[in-house]
Homo-oligomer: A and B are copies of this chain.
Amino acid sequence: MFAGISRFDQIQADLGISRKVLTERLNHLVEHGIIERTPYDARPRYEYHRTSTGAELVDLLMVMIGWGDKWLAGEAGPPVLYRHHACGETTQVDLRCDHCGEPMHAGDVDLLPGPGAAQTA
């Protein structure tokens, strides 16, 4: 879906897995609010689109892939490149502070207990 595929038959053709397995996996993602199912003709057939939760999960996936590309891809290089709409460049994700816009890596923060901290004990 990240690559613009949304219809069941397209997804199945792309992945090459059985209709049964694909249906189970899509239902699982629908149940967890990652994607939503919409009929697209009268039979009905279905297409699947990311929810907001799912879209941000794909953002996360993009960051994960970026880490793998940098540290694990080796000489072959990354299998996929990202061209950013805003600037047209082939680029990568940079982690910035949502408040001040400066770089924000794990070494740039202190950890504080949050409101849900008690439940982790």
A residues in contact (CB < 8 Å) with B: 2-3, 33, 53, 55-64, 67, 69-71, 73, 76-87, 89-117, 119-120
Do A114 and B77 touch (CB < 8 A)? yes
Q: Could you say which residues of chain B place their CB within 8 Å of the CB of A120?
A: 79
Quick one: copies of this chain in the complex?
Answer: 2
- Chain B nearest CB, measured from A31 CB (Å): 14
Q: Is the CB of B111 within 8 A of A80?
A: yes
**Secondary structure class of chain A's binding surface, majority of residues:** mixed
Judging by beta carbons under 8 Å apart, are B93 and A55 in contact?
no
| B residues near A95, Cβ cutoff 8 Å | 59, 62-63, 93-96
Distance of A118 from chain B, by nearest CB (Å): 8
> Across chains A and B, which 9 residue pairs bring their CB atoms closest together, nearest first?
A77-B115, A87-B100, A76-B116, A58-B106, A94-B98, A78-B114, A82-B109, A86-B102, A91-B99
Question: Once the chains bind, are B114 and A100 in contact (CB under 8 Å)?
Answer: no
